[in-house]
Amino acid sequence: MRMKTLLAGSVLMGLAASFAAPAVAEDSVYIQLPTYRTGPYAGSGIHIANGMSDYLAMINERDGGVNGVKIAFDECETGYDTQKGVECYEQAKAKNTLVFNPWSTGITLQVIPKSSVDKIPVLSMAYGLSAAADGNTFPWVFNPPDTYWDGLSAIIKYIGEQEGGMEGLKGKKIGYIFLDAGYGREPIPLLDNLAQKYGFEVLQYPVPGKEMQNQASQWLSIRRDRPDYVVMWGWGAMNPTAIKEAVKNRFDMSKFIGVWWAGGDEDARAGGTGAKGYKSVSFNNVGADYPALQDIKKLVVDAGKSHTPASTIGENLYNRGVVNALYMVEGIRTAQEMTGKKVINAEDMRLGLENLKIDEARLEAIGLKGMIAPIEITCANHSGHHPLFIQEWDGEKWTSATDWFSPLTEEVTPILMQASKDYATSNAPWPTRDDACPAN
Amino acid sequence: MNVLVKPTGMQADGETAPGEVLLRIDSVSLSFGGVRAITNISFDIIKGEVRAIIGPNGAGKTSMLNVINGFYHPQEGTITWRGKVRRKMKPYEAASHGIARTFQNVALFKGMTTLDNIMTGRGLKMHSGFLWQCLRVGPALREEIEHRRKVEEIIDFLEIQAIRKTPVGRLPYGLQKRVELARALAMEPELLLLDEPMAGMNLEEKEDMSRFILDVNQQFGTTIALIEHDMGVVMDLSDRVVVLDYGRKIADGPPEEVQANQDVIDAYLGVSH
Amino acid sequence: MDMLYNILIDPFVQMVDAPDFLIQVVWEGFVAGVLYALIALGFVLIYKASGVFNFAQGIMVVFAGLSLVGLHQKGVPAWLALILAIGIMAILAVCIEKFVMRPLVGQPDIILLMATIGMTYFLIGLGEVIFGGEPKQMITSELGLPTGSTAFEMGERGLVILQHIDIAAAVIALLMVGGLAVFFNRTRIGRALRAVADDHTAALSVGISLNQIWAIVWFAAGIVALATGIMWGARSDVSFALEIVALKALPVLILGGFTSIPGAIIGGLIIGIGEKVGEIYWGGLVGGGIESWLAYVIALVFLLFRPQGLFGEKIIERI
Amino acid sequence: MFYREAGQYKTTYAADQQIFPIRQDRIGIGVILVLALLLPLVASEFMLSAIAIPFLILALATIGLNILTGYAGQLSLGTGAFMGVGAYSCYKLVTIFPEVNVIVHILLSGVFAAAAGVVFGLPSLRIKGLYLAVTTLAAQFFLEWCFIRISWLYNYNASGAIEVPGREFFGTLITGPAAGGTTRYYVVLAIVVVMTLLIKNLIRGRIGRQWMMIRDMDIAAELMGVRPLVAKLSAFAVSSYVCGVAGAMFVFFYLGASEPAVFSITLSFQVLFMAIIGGLGSLVGSFFGAAFIWILPILLRVGLPALGVDIAAETVFQVAQMVIGALIIFFLIVEPHGLARLWAIGKEKLRVWPFPYA
């Protein structure tokens, strides 16, 4: 009995302690990383989580933090579940996180309205709500380097080039296989627009979330309809299953292009040798030869401070996790420079992200030159329509199939601004930005 | 026992006068996919009497009760209730016509208390609307209290005050049978069907139960049809007896007469057919 | 009118137009059906012997597959991993019997159902703690299972592709059903099993050890789960997402009846083929993706006309 | 000792039939209500927004399921979908009639859920037990599919999600991101308490008894004049109504935005667990169950690292899941009738204390 009381008492005390804001040491800032190392999307989530936390740990180890300010971080497991995500958000809010990276479109949609009230910037790197790129309407949300619409337009542009110019798209059939959720449905309006403009036909193949591993029907339909290209918007267990099915149905893999989230190494590997030629659009290069990644290997992974298998460093999703952490770190740095404070808060962080500029020189200094294209976020544009490239699976690893090229920004911008306006009207009264962005 | 008991106390609003035929069964046959349960049986039940249905196991007695309260639908024959031929109907309609019953294996609502179980018998007589019941004011509350009073009368009558708030699942078998009777009485039926009301009881409990059945019949004037195996009980309680065997009627009449009937003796002693 | 044409005529025109494609669709449905049937088979085994509706069968499939692959990843050779995985299923069976079934004997169905859902939660957590949450590739070739495919040409453009692993799945399913039938009908334990299924108390009174029987049944279900895990894992991946697909076994059981082994197989095939054909030829009319509920609706419609299932006897209500 | 009804005489049936006939119970519930009212004074924003509000809403959903499964005996695995119907109807109502008070919309949205419940409840007239569970699964998956596929439901929003606009109630913002945790908490508390009371009344009246008759012995119930059609469908309707209101509240007062995946089978199971662990056929049990299933994992997830146990976030998550699974089995073994029964036994023991029997 006494044991029980004792245990209960200590649990309660611990709880009380954890609900209170953590006693942040003088020279550290706190970031919560919502991750998912469990559940159906863990296959993708684990690598991202590893990349993010390893990079932050490396910055702490190598540089002693950002300008001497250590980054205290911990993970909050969401299991890709919206309920848990909201719980993580509330927890992060209570612990004064600098920034929130939902890593799920569903959770992003949940926290977007809250973020402006709670004054916590949401960094949804190349996912979430595309319209959030409009910084005038969404001052607290950032989705660099590109939105889904940018991604889709880049893929269409690439297909056009394969067909000898955008006119070549006329009369083509493009299949769109997607996770039947907000994530997969978001690109459809733009796809329809482009189809009308360039005269190609779109065939939709929705994959219900429950049936991710059971895609026989979708691929049979694809076989029947014989689309010229298939574009995939998949995540988690959907990707390897789709690639396997494509191989099985003898679909020409060079005509099968995924969004960046359908570009995991394990996704492609699942298809065996048959997956050779599979493509995905990307905003980061693979490989572990970058100095920063070598530092991670030396200071974090080899030092036993991480559970990351050394072999996965340099894989696509791992590097992408690193990019996400890079944005955060550079955001902190920019905020420090702008405010003159060392220990910044979430509002400062928003300022930092809004003025984030990582050019070639900066990348060189960080030790990631060549891994990503230089990026710049502005007050009005929180995404940036940055250049992308197409990568190709050579049977063992990803290789670049194209150079960096810009998405069809002129196609994307109007629909993006319209969506942002719609969002604000349908959620009226949507808070307006107190400091309007300068008109370029 | 006089057939022409003057009804006192609660009286069903039937237009059938005591001594007239309340229910008539005419050449009823029932089968389940080829298996004959009841073959061409006719008999009647007179208002105010205690009618016993007896017979060896498997004679079709319970099936007969099920036919009477509309749970089974006979393939042939007619049932006349209060002078009108009854059409095929749902069991719950029989209840609203004033037929209540108890069951061979106690069929109480195990999750409820004695009080609630008996209150269920009042269900057909309660009419307050959904919203009133949510709020439990006005007609809903008045109704609950008014019917509670009736239920308490029955509880007093059957001497089960002490177990009022006990969940019926915890009661001993004998008391459960009594609660079941109380529940049936709460419906204020015109015809009460009792399916082996004394099965599995010891002598004392049987005596109690017999007393209650007689009291019900005499005080409330309720017509009773009962199935029972204990011949002593049957002979003492009933005004008339119908005997079934293998789904056929083999005798019908006052207890003494039936007792002397050779077919009945054969059936019970198991003479081969 | 167009609508009617699209529903009533067009799909059949398509079927006749491209018979090779129809064959392929039916074949895919057949293979999916075999896998549904295997999951349902696990349910049936346990339901027959203990009256428990084992919701955890889906997670047992995942758990078995994970153990096999996880052990192999840790450096255990494939054949040894297979044996060890069987061993793990045996241990699991004994544990379930001892810690879940035995203390809950005689409880209402819904309580037992809940207990198996509790087990599902527990096993998901346990599996992830031990083997990690990421999907794993099935070690198909290491286990000596065929991996290639054979294509049959039909007519000018017609093509039917049969995966060898799918053929193997069908054969293995067949062997398992045969084996189980023999086990149930020809062995002493099988007889005891049937006795237990009919009446627990009566079986106890003639000296049958319930505990032993239950452990054996759960073990058998575990083996079926392992086979299912291997087959399904080879088709997609071994991951926890599979657990949800396993819910499809429910409509299968509704069709086939909870206690019938042939019912499970036939139900599985009806559902598997039905939903593929439905999705491909009619799904497009409502935007596709109907596979997520079609199976349940098939089962529901079926139930309305035949509440006792395909092989059940007509229920006579008694009081 | 202190919990004894000796000396408390009831002189009217009304007094005997009140919800808490024992004085100590009345005092107890009063104290709990006062504490609930005072909670925002001491609780942090996290406790209100992430624990108290969802707990109350899920308790209401559990009550909804309990009406169907606990009181009327019809097993349902479709709770999540019925909650979704409520949430989506509420969203549509709020966007179509923005000038009407949002509380009215929330209460109305349950009507649509009730309609869906009745439609999917129809098979219950022929189908029973586990077979019925499959029917409700069909409802679950079909409705989930509708939430994704019918874009009218989310106003053709490209993201496929619904967002809660800010709405006021007598001048105070109660929904939307800008509504404070305390305000939302009080609104939720008020709705949940009032609905619980109404349902309690319903259950102890004629309609509630009809449901229990069907649950305990459907044939006997029918022979006593209960129309199965009316009793079962009314249970489906009321249950779905309550679930629908809970679903609307879940989105409007807790999540703030929602996508179809929120109302998946996982939510159905979550609520079913709450009902079972709490105790089928018990309203107080619904609260116990919701507390157990909702709060315990949070305690584990937040508490274990706080205790200084240094494990990775996902391991905590997984261990929490294992613990929940094990506890479900444990409780089923110890007391299959749930926490409510344990509670009742405790009270009974206390009444006869210090003697073991009354």
Q: In angstroms, what separates the C-alpha of A222 from chain C's closest C-alpha? A: 10
Identify the pLDDT of residue C128: 86
Identify the pLDDT of residue B13: 45
For residue D202, give every residue at least 6 positions away whose Cβ sits within 8 Å of its Cβ, in sequence order, or none.
B130, B133, B134, D208, D238
| DSSP conformational letter for A436 | P
B66 interface with C at CB cutoff 8 Å: yes
User: Which tokens hold the place of A19?
Assistant: 């609900």
Identify the pLDDT of residue D358: 54
Q: What is the pTM of this model?
A: 0.90
> For residue B56, what are the domain limits?
1-95+238-273
Count of C-beta atoms within a 10 Å radius of residue C182: 11
Distance CA D147, CA D51 (A): 27
Name the residue among D50, D160, D164 with its Cβ closest to that of A87: D50
Domains of chain A by start residue, with CATH: 27-146+287-386 (3.40.50.2300), 148-282+388-411 (3.40.50.2300)
Bond prior to C307 in cis (omega within 30° of 0): no
pLDDT digits 0-9 by tens, D67-78 = 999 999 998 999
CA A198 to each of CA A155, A165, A225, A421: distance values in angstroms, whole numbers, following the listed order: 14, 10, 20, 26
Distance CA A177, CA A173 (A): 13
User: Which tokens hold the place of C109?
Assistant: 């169905």
Identify the pLDDT of residue D164: 86
**CB–CB of A262/A343 below 8 Å?**
no
- C11-30 as b/e: b if 16+ CB within 10 A: beeebeebebbbbbbbbbbb
CA A215 to each of CA A161, A356, C279: distance values in angstroms, whole numbers, following the listed order: 30, 41, 11
Which residue spans within B47-190 are E strands per DSSP?
50-54, 76-81, 84-85, 99-101
Share of chain A above pLDDT 70, in %: 94
Distance CA B215, CA B156 (A): 13
Identify the pLDDT of residue B217: 93
For residue A112, give every residue at least 6 positions away whose Cβ sits within 8 Å of its Cβ, in sequence order, or none.
A122, A128, A129, A132, A138, A140, A141, D163, D257
Residues of chain C predicted below pLDDT 50: none
Identify the pLDDT of residue C2: 77
Name the residue among B101, B133, B141 with its Cβ closest to that of D202: B133
- Amino acid identity of B146? E
- Average pLDDT value for residue range A29-57: 90
B107 and C319 within 8 Å at the Cβ level: the answer is yes
Cβ neighbours of B123 in D, within 8 Å? 206, 209-210, 213, 224-226
CA D211 to each of CA B123, C82, D131, D217, D260: distance values in angstroms, whole numbers, following the listed order: 12, 52, 19, 10, 31
**CB–CB of D272/D79 below 8 Å?**
yes
Name the residue among C314, C316, C319 with its Cβ closest to that of B103: C319
Cβ neighbours of B107 in C, within 8 Å? 319
Q: In angstroms, what separates the C-alpha of D255 from chain B's closest C-alpha? A: 29
B71 and C314 within 8 Å at the Cβ level: the answer is no
- Smallest CA-to-CA distance from C312 within C263, C241, C245, C277 is with C263
CATH (domain of B27) = 3.40.50.300
pLDDT digits 0-9 by tens, B73-125 = 899 999 999 888 988 888 888 888 899 999 988 899 988 999 999 999 999 99
Q: Is the pLDDT of residue B3 over 70?
A: no
Q: Is residue B231 part of a domain?
A: no
Distance CA A177, CA A180 (A): 9
pLDDT digits 0-9 by tens, A298-348 = 999 998 888 888 889 999 999 999 999 999 999 999 999 999 988 999 999
Name the residue among C24, C134, C292 with its Cβ closest to that of A46: C134
Q: Is the pLDDT of residue B223 over 90?
A: yes
Q: Is residue B13 part of a domain?
A: yes
| DSSP conformational letter for D150 | -
Q: In angstroms, what separates the C-alpha of D255 from chain A's closest C-alpha? A: 7
H-type helices in B97-165, by residue range?
114-120, 130-135, 139-158
Q: What are the counts of helices (DSSP H) followed by strands (DSSP E) for chain D?
A: 16, 4
Confidence band (pLDDT; 50, 70, 90) for D132? confident
Distance CA A281, CA A256 (A): 11
- Average pLDDT value for residue range B130-152: 91
A269 and C237 within 8 Å at the Cβ level: the answer is no
- Smallest CA-to-CA distance from A189 within A143, A141, A144, A130 is with A130
Closest-CA residue of C relative to D331 is: C115
- Amino acid identity of C191? R
User: Which tokens hold the place of C260?
Assistant: 């019938």
Q: Is the pLDDT of residue A221 over 80?
A: yes
Cβ neighbours of C18 in A, within 8 Å? 224
Q: Is the pLDDT of residue A129 over 50?
A: yes
Closest-CA residue of C relative to B66 is: C319
Which residues does D contribute to its contact with B (CB < 8 Å)? 12-14, 17, 198-199, 201-202, 204-207, 209-210, 212-213, 215-217, 219-228, 234, 281
Percent of chain D that is helix, strand, coil (3-state, to 5)? 75, 0, 25
Identify the pLDDT of residue C1: 67
CA A345 to each of CA A30, A87, A136, A196: distance values in angstroms, whole numbers, following the listed order: 9, 21, 21, 47
Closest-CA residue of C relative to B101 is: C319
Cβ neighbours of C167 in A, within 8 Å? none
Q: Is residue B91 part of a domain?
A: yes
Share of chain B above pLDDT 90, in %: 49
Distance CA D9, CA D235 (A): 35
- Smallest CA-to-CA distance from A238 within C289, D50, B257 is with C289
Highest mean pLDDT among A206-210, A416-420, D98-102, D234-238: D234-238
Mutate to test the interface with B, among C315, C316, C319 (most CBs of B within 10 A): C319
Name the residue among C134, C163, C280 with its Cβ closest to that of A43: C134
Closest-CA residue of B relative to C316 is: B32
C319 and B104 within 8 Å at the Cβ level: the answer is yes
* φ/ψ of residue A405, rounded to 5: -145, 155
Neighbours of chain A (3+ CB pairs under 8 A): C, D
C319 and B32 within 8 Å at the Cβ level: the answer is no
Parse chain C into domains and list their residue ranges. 27-246
Distance CA C158, CA C154 (A): 4
Tell me the Ramachandran region of residue C307: left when phi exceeds 0, alpha when psi lies from -120 to 50, beta otherwise. Answer: alpha
B9 interface with D at CB cutoff 8 Å: no
Distance CA A32, CA A222 (A): 42
Tell me the residues of chain C between 253 and 272 that have a Cβ less than 8 Å away from chain D: 254, 258
- Average pLDDT value for residue range B33-54: 90
Which residues does D contribute to its contact with C (CB < 8 Å)? 75, 123, 126-127, 129-131, 133-135, 137-138, 141-142, 144-145, 148-149, 219-220, 223, 265, 269, 272-273, 276, 280, 314-315, 318-329, 332-333, 336
User: Which tokens hold the place of A414?
Assistant: 């109007």
Tell me the residues of chain B between 10 and 49 that have a Cβ less than 8 Å away from chain C: 32-33
pLDDT digits 0-9 by tens, B159-206 = 999 999 899 988 998 899 999 999 999 999 999 999 999 888 888 989
> Among positive and negative, which fits the CA dihedral C10, C16, C17, C22?
positive
C133 and A39 within 8 Å at the Cβ level: the answer is yes
**CB–CB of C40/C267 below 8 Å?**
yes
First to last CA, chain D: 13
A189 interface with D at CB cutoff 8 Å: yes
Q: What is the 3-state secondary structure (H, E, C) of D36-69?
A: HHHHHHHCCHHHHHHHHHHHHHHHHHHHHHHHHH
User: Which tokens hold the place of A110?
Assistant: 């949940």
- Smallest CA-to-CA distance from D339 within D271, D269, D270, D281 is with D281
**CB–CB of D279/D339 below 8 Å?**
yes
A54 interface with D at CB cutoff 8 Å: no
Q: Is residue B73 part of a domain?
A: yes
Confidence band (pLDDT; 50, 70, 90) for A400? very high
A77 and D313 within 8 Å at the Cβ level: the answer is yes
Number of domains in chain B: 1
- Smallest CA-to-CA distance from D116 within D233, D263, D200 is with D233
Identify the pLDDT of residue A3: 43
| DSSP conformational letter for B5 | P
Closest-CA residue of C relative to B103 is: C319
Window from A286-290, A425-429, C11-15, D15-19 with minimum mean pLDDT: A425-429
C155-164's contacts with Cβ under 8 Å and 24+ in sequence apart are C155/C20, C158/C18, C158/C19, C158/C20, C158/C21, C159/C20, C159/C24, C160/C20, C160/C23, C160/C24, C160/C27, C161/A248, C161/A249, C161/A250, C161/C24, C162/C27, C163/A248, C163/C31
Q: In angstroms, what separates the C-alpha of A187 from chain D's closest C-alpha? A: 8
Number of residues in chain A: 440
Distance CA A234, CA A177 (A): 8
Angle among Cα A188, A192, A195 to the nearest 5 degrees reads 135
D333 and C104 within 8 Å at the Cβ level: the answer is yes
Question: What is the pLDDT of chain B when averaged over all its residues?
Answer: 87
Q: In angstroms, what separates the C-alpha of C314 from chain D's closest C-alpha? A: 13
A427 and D163 within 8 Å at the Cβ level: the answer is yes
**CB–CB of A264/A271 below 8 Å?**
no
Q: In angstroms, what separates the C-alpha of D146 from chain C's closest C-alpha? A: 10
Cβ neighbours of D224 in B, within 8 Å? 92, 95, 100, 120-121, 123-124, 183, 187
| DSSP conformational letter for A163 | T
Confidence band (pLDDT; 50, 70, 90) for A27? confident
Identify the pLDDT of residue B7: 40
Q: Is residue B141 part of a domain?
A: no
More confident residue, A250 or D306: A250
User: Which tokens hold the place of C221?
Assistant: 């279900």
Angle among Cα A39, A209, D52 to the nearest 5 degrees reads 60
> What one-character-per-residue DSSP string does A227-239 give?
-SEEEEE--TTHH
C21 and A224 within 8 Å at the Cβ level: the answer is yes
Tell me the residues of chain B between 137 and 166 that have a Cβ less than 8 Å away from chain D: 140-141, 143-145, 148-149, 152
Distance CA A401, CA A285 (A): 11
The neighbouring-strand residues paired with D341 are: none
Tell whether ipTM is more than 0.90.
Answer: no
- Average pLDDT value for residue range A267-278: 89
Identify the pLDDT of residue A10: 47
Identify the pLDDT of residue C54: 86
Name the residue among A14, A110, A118 with its Cβ closest to that of D257: A110
> How are strands ordered across the β-sheet holding B248-253?
B99-101, B191-195, B223-227, B50-54, B240-245, B248-253
Which residue spans within A3-58 are E strands per DSSP?
28-35
Q: In angstroms, what separates the C-alpha of C75 from chain A's closest C-alpha? A: 15
pLDDT digits 0-9 by tens, D49-62 = 889 999 999 999 99
For chains A and D, tell me whether 3 or more CB atom pairs sit within 8 A of each other: yes
- The strand pair at B191-195 and D168-169 is best described as unpaired
Cβ neighbours of C115 in D, within 8 Å? 328-329, 332-333
Question: What is the pLDDT of chain A when averaged over all its residues?
Answer: 88
Identify the pLDDT of residue B271: 62
Angle of helix D102-121 relative to helix D79-96, nearest 10 degrees, comes to 140
Q: Tokens 């910084």 correspond to what residue?
A: A135
User: Which tokens hold the place of D269?
Assistant: 């199971």
> What one-character-per-residue DSSP string does D250-294 give?
IIIIIISEE-GGGGSHHHHHHHHHHHHHH-TT-HHHHHHHHIIII
Window from A251-260, B13-22, C277-286, D221-230 with minimum mean pLDDT: B13-22
- Report how many Cβ contacts below 8 Å link chain C to chain D: 130
The neighbouring-strand residues paired with B21 are: B46
- Smallest CA-to-CA distance from B154 within B228, B197, B215, B198 is with B215
Q: In angstroms, what separates the C-alpha of B113 from chain C's closest C-alpha? A: 21
Q: Is the pLDDT of residue A440 over 70?
A: no
